[in-house]
């Protein structure tokens, strides 16, 4: 086999195209198309080093998907409110990095419905659509609310997840295509069942801050998958530095081999070599 690229890996780039999503490895500053590797033998080799994706420090363990421990404890992008935006503490004056928060959190966010392993509700910055859906392996997606801040998106999500799940079952995601769902009907059901809570949030933050997207249309997404595995086994590069097999598909941030699956995003900041 020939080495076709090496460097510090980060999550694959993904572009929404017809007929299928187009993927590329990101190895440092280099992008290496992955779709052309389908049906071929591919080997990923962990080279034994991890360098923090923020400061570049060598670290034995990756924290929060790619950070060293000091960065994980001090950066706003690694704080608890990133995973639970409703816990935003910017207003209390305790944000780890107020300037970062102003740039990334005090900006328009979208609450959406997605169908990957079933219906779920999620949030993302408005500028991250449709990338967020592609990273999650959603086959259908629909934006349902636009808000002015990340905290507000978390509060709306928290309201809706009383009715709809907010997590993806990754094993179900990799077993096959999700059964199609009428996302518009689900949106209307949510607005109906959560109407009082939604109105309360609008009264708290203002009608302009929290706007329902009642005219949005669902997006259909197809992934480059030739075959799904009958049994799912995951590669673990920390235990075995080589993941190798015939590449059968790409979905979300997963590579599907005939020998197992691997979540590329999990290994952000790992030094990898790609052979083909």
pTM: 0.95
Q: In angstroms, rounded to a whole number, what is the distance separating the alpha carbons of residues 188 and 193?
A: 9
Alpha carbon 113 to its chain centroid, in Å, reads 14
Q: What angle do CA 135, 260, 273 make, to 5 degrees?
A: 75
pLDDT at 166: 86
pLDDT at 165: 87
For residue 18, count CB atoms less than 10 angstroms from its CB and return exposed for 0-12, middle for 13-18, buried for 19 or more.
exposed
Q: In angstroms, rounded to a whole number, what is the distance separating the alpha carbons of residues 233 and 185?
A: 36
Residues 6+ apart with CB under 8 A from 40: 246, 247, 276
What is the residue whose two structure tokens read 């960065």? 71
99, containing H or E segment? helix 98-104
Q: What angle do CA 213, 216, 217 make, to 5 degrees?
A: 155
Q: Return the number of other C-beta atoms located less than 10 Å from residue 53's C-beta.
A: 18
For residue 205, count CB atoms less than 10 angstroms from its CB and return exposed for 0-12, middle for 13-18, buried for 19 or more.
middle
Q: Provide φ and ψ at 149, rounded to 5°.
A: -140, 165
pLDDT at 218: 97
Q: Return the number of other C-beta atoms located less than 10 Å from residue 187's C-beta.
A: 22
Q: 195-205 vs 183-193: helix axis angle to the nearest 10? A: 70
Q: In angstroms, rounded to a whole number, what is the distance separating the alpha carbons of residues 59 and 120?
A: 35
pLDDT at 230: 87
- Ordered by start, the domain boundaries in the chain are 3-56+223-275, 108-220
The pLDDT profile of the chain, 276 residues, written as one tens digit per residue, is 999 999 999 999 999 999 999 999 999 999 999 999 999 999 999 999 999 999 999 999 999 999 999 999 999 999 999 999 999 999 999 999 999 999 999 999 999 999 998 999 999 999 999 999 999 999 999 999 999 999 999 999 999 998 998 888 999 999 999 999 999 999 999 999 999 999 999 999 999 999 999 999 999 999 999 999 988 999 999 999 999 999 999 999 999 999 999 999 999 999 999 999
Q: Return the number of other C-beta atoms located less than 10 Å from residue 95's C-beta.
A: 18
């Amino acid at each position: 086999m020939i080495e076709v690229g090496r460097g510090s890996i980060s999550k694959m780039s993904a572009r929404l195209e017809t007929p299928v999503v187009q993927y590329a490895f990101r190895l440092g500053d280099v992008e290496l198309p992955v779709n052309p590797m389908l049906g071929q033998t591919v080997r990923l080799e962990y080279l034994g080093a991890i360098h923090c994706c923020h400061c570049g420090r060598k670290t034995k363990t990756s924290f929060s998907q790619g950070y060293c421990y000091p960065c994980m404890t001090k950066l706003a992008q690694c704080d608890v409110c990133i995973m639970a935006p409703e816990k935003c503490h910017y207003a209390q004056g305790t944000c780890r990095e107020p300037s970062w928060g102003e740039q990334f959190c005090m900006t328009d966010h979208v609450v959406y419905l997605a169908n990957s392993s079933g219906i779920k509700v999620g949030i993302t910055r408005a500028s991250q659509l449709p990338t967020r859906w592609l990273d999650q392996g959603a086959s259908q997606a629909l934006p349902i609310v636009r808000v002015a801040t990340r905290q507000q998106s978390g509060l709306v999500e928290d309201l809706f997840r009383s009715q709809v799940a907010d997590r993806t079952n990754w094993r179900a995601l990799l077993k096959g295509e999700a059964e199609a769902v009428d996302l518009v009907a689900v949106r209307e059901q949510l607005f109906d069942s959560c109407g009082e809570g939604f109105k309360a949030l609008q009264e708290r933050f203002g009608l302009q801050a929290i706007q329902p997207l009642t005219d949005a249309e669902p997006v259909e997404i197809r992934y480059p998958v030739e075959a799904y595995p009958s049994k799912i086994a995951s590669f673990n590069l920390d235990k075995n530095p080589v993941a190798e097999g015939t590449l059968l598909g790409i979905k979300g941030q997963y590579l599907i081999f005939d020998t197992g699956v691997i979540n590329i995003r999990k290994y952000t900041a790992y030094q990898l070599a790609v052979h083909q």
